[in-house]
Structure 1
Amino acid sequence: MHLLVYLSLGLFILGAEASSKGSWPCPEPEEIAPCTCNSDAGDINMDCSNVQNDEELSAAFKANFPFTDLNRFTMIKNLSDEKIGVTRLSADTFSNVTFTSFAISHTTLTSVDDLAFSKSFAIMESLVISYSDLTSFPFDILKNCPKLKDLRVFNNQIKHMSNIHSESLEYLQVSHNPELHFNDDTFQTAPNLKQLLLNKIDLQYIAPDTFAAQERLETLDLSENKITSLVPDSLRFTSPVIKEIKLQKNHIETVDEGFISGLSGGAFLWMQHNRMTEIPENVWREVFDSVVDAASKDLFVFDDNPFRCDCHIKWLVSSDTYMTIIGENTSCDDGTLLNDDILGDFINQHCP
């Protein structure tokens, strides 16, 4: 009888150990459900895409974690599915568990506490919260995140972006936040930005030197906004590697002399779908000359602007070099292409 008891007890212990070894280095599955955990090449990742509310998310992090330094946290639903019902990330949500990256999308999240990611500040490298309902985000935390390179908070309802204090940040996307406001010097303390996406935020004005502090900037996206004019130095760049400036689908009518500087060969300027009627020589010749050494063509794209094709464009159409730089679909207000040979011949013949 005693032998049977000992055998039964031994089998129970062995079974328990097998279960622990099966989930290790993750917590026991039932303790974190409906979240799941997996280990891959030494990285421990956690997926909480199936949680229904704040309480379920917080409860998962009350489990016994063999290790608390995890790699990736995911909470994402397809846009065709119902949103994940989490509304708030508090200082206690993740307990003592840390992550190097967060990917959160398609939720009912409306607020993120200043300390929600505090345990991860020292190691966090990327943070994405998209297609949710955030009305604010604690941008001030960036100064406490020395390894954060990638921050994306697009497709939310954020109304204000405070100054970005970060030496590490390389990618910032705040696109699709209607009526988002920021200060003229917001990016001056983020010198290592490479990709800056500010499209579709209802931006109306670009102050002089707004992006002059970005010495490594490669892409600036200001498309689909409400910009009506470009003033001197509004697009002054000090980065020698700038590749793309996107201004398409704005309301740009006037462009002042000296509005842009710092371009180099191969930089693309997207200006299509605006309201410009002129390409004045005093404004644009220097801009064209700054990229003449580029091997690429169609660097400046002006499609769908109602340009008046008169003697004021002779400086442009009479130059094969400039006509190579300008996009081949640039047209007059009557639809005639600027690179039309008949138009060029007529202007050269009749204009002094």
Structure 2
Amino acid sequence: MWGLKSCFFLLFVVSYVYSSDHTCELSCDHFSEGCTKCTNTTFQCENRALKSVCAAYYNNNSTEMHTVDLRDNLISNFSSFPAKSNIKVLFIGNNHFTSLTKADMERFPLLEKLFIEQNEIKSLPKDVFEGSTFIEELHMSGLGLSELPDTIFKPLKALTFLDLSHNQLKKVPANTFQIGNRIRTLFLNGNPITELAPVDFVALRKIEVIHLGETKLTTITDHAFATLDTLREINFDHSSQLRFIDETAFGWYLPTPGKYAASLSKVSIRSCYLSNLDEHVFNVKGLEEFKFSNNPWECDCSIRWLMDPETWKVSPGKDKIMEELNNSKCDNDKWKRTPLAAVPLNQLECGVKIPNFKDHPALRLSSSLSTVTTIMIITLLVCCISVVLGILMFRRCTRQTSMPPAVNQYRAIYNQGHVQSLDEGLDKDAKSPYEL
């Protein structure tokens, strides 16, 4: 009986060994710890409580091994990694790393994709990526970063994908983006960003996708994205404080709605705090996806264009958008919880519209003046006021010097206690003509 069991056990071991890839020999403790996925090009050892890495797996396929996956372990530093390797893709997310230095990155001179998310790296040195010229994707989500050194990404000439989501950034790290970069996808969602400015994205001339969901934004200001001609996807999902998107946020105002937002094809503003939306914000003719459900929409004339099926007949994503109209609910009392698609357009309340300077083209132009122009106008006004005050002071002084002699004499009596002639003067010992 025992001989039969031994035979079956031996057969199982032999079949397991021969079914494995013999060209990838695992040494140290990796095999016993369950790192069974191994091919000529990939070493995978996830969630095995590893505290260090056995370098032997590199040596067996030093010219072919290009992907290493060590996610969900207990590794805290790079000391157990080879001094140099040909690794191109490195997964080390959700470990115990507390720092990342230039010396660490020099171990991977050919690295193209780095996944280091969900570690405890609170800050990064300015020179960390010097020499990392081949990196195309950088995933640094959930590290706890509150700021980034200026020009930190400058050496990354090949970088096209940057994930900085779920950190502690309070503003867009604009100074880290250099003119001429190739970044096409940027994730900033999950950061406590409170405001945007047009200069934040001015260097991202090739950007196509931006995610800004789960932020603390309250408004999207005028021309915030106006310089981004290649932007095709924007996402603000779950920015629960977002109340207003300026009609010029994606381009200059023109009578044609959304003309300068023509490149946008995917927009998502789900679960924000928007009650209305100007029809000039987006170009409906270019929208393939437009997600806007779970907002407190005020169903009146201000969003009639949004609720009107005729608006979306020219949109390539009209079917999906009609689904959004069915899933989106009104929040005002009259149409509470009514789907936007179910509200009769001829029953929308259109109260007296409060005059707004943005409704007048001439005043709209003045409101779009740059800060520099505003400062120049204020400076000019100050100069004019100064000139007027100078003229008034000059005239006052002139009147004083042209007073008749008698007036000046009586002033002298008041000020000095005796009569002082402007022409000759009096002797100090002379008797006052007013003495008895």
- Short-chain TM bin: 0.7 to 0.9
Q: Which runs of 5+ in 1 are unaligned?
A: 1-21, 78-83
Determine if contact 1:197/1:220 at 8 Å carries over to the other structure. yes
Match of 1:302 among 288, 292, 300: 292
State the distance in 2 between where 1:126 and 1:252 align. 33
State the distance in 2 between where 1:73 and 1:248 align. 33
C-alpha displacement of 1:27: 7.1
State the distance in 1 between where 2:32 and 2:196 align. 46
Determine helix, strand or coil for the equivalent of 1:89.
Answer: coil
State the distance in 1 between where 2:84 and 2:36 align. 16
Larger radius of gyration: 2
Q: Deviations over 1:15-57 (max 9, x none)?
A: xxxxxxx99976772498778698745x36474864643xx43
Q: Residue 76 of structure 1 aligns with which residue?
A: 71
Q: Against the structure 1 CA distance between its residues 67 and 346, is the aligned structure 2 distance closer, same or farther, given a 3 Å change threshold?
A: closer
Q: Deviations over 1:133-160 (max 9, x none)?
A: 2222457444522221111112332222
Determine helix, strand or coil for the equivalent of 1:220.
Answer: strand
Q: Residue 285 of structure 1 aligns with which residue?
A: 279
Q: Deviations over 1:54-87 (max 9, x none)?
A: xx43xx338993664541222123xxxxxx3322
Q: Against the structure 1 CA distance between its residues 274 and 67, is the aligned structure 2 distance closer, same or farther, given a 3 Å change threshold?
A: closer
Q: Residue 338 of structure 1 aligns with which residue?
A: 340
Written as runs of structure 1 = structure 2, the 5 A alignment for 1:124-163 is 124-138=111-125, 140-162=127-149, 163=151
Q: Residue 175 of structure 1 aligns with which residue?
A: 165
C-alpha displacement of 1:270: 0.9
Match of 1:101 among 72, 89, 100: 89
Q: Residue 118 of structure 1 aligns with which residue?
A: 106
Determine helix, strand or coil for the equivalent of 1:102.
Answer: strand
Q: Residue 244 of structure 2 aligns with which residue?
A: 254
State the distance in 1 between where 2:104 and 2:122 align. 16
C-alpha displacement of 1:128: 0.2
Deviates more, 1:261-270 or 1:128-137: 261-270
Determine if contact 1:263/1:291 at 8 Å carries over to the other structure. no
Asked if residue 275 in structure 1 is aligned to residue 260 in structure 2, the reply is: no
C-alpha displacement of 1:265: 6.0
Deviates more, 1:218-227 or 1:156-165: 156-165
Determine if contact 1:314/1:348 at 8 Å carries over to the other structure. no
Q: How many residues align?
A: 308
Q: Which has the higher strand share?
A: 1
Deviates more, 1:202-211 or 1:312-321: 312-321
Q: What is the aligned-residue identity percentage? A: 18
Match of 1:207 among 197, 207, 222: 197
Amino acid paired to 1:235: F
Determine helix, strand or coil for the equivalent of 1:127.
Answer: strand
Amino acid paired to 1:292: K
Q: Which has the higher helix share?
A: 2
Q: TM-score, normalised by structure 2?
A: 0.60
Q: Against the structure 1 CA distance between its residues 30 and 256, is the aligned structure 2 distance closer, same or farther, given a 3 Å change threshold?
A: closer
Determine if contact 2:162/2:185 at 8 Å carries over to the other structure. yes
State the distance in 2 between where 1:300 and 1:350 align. 28
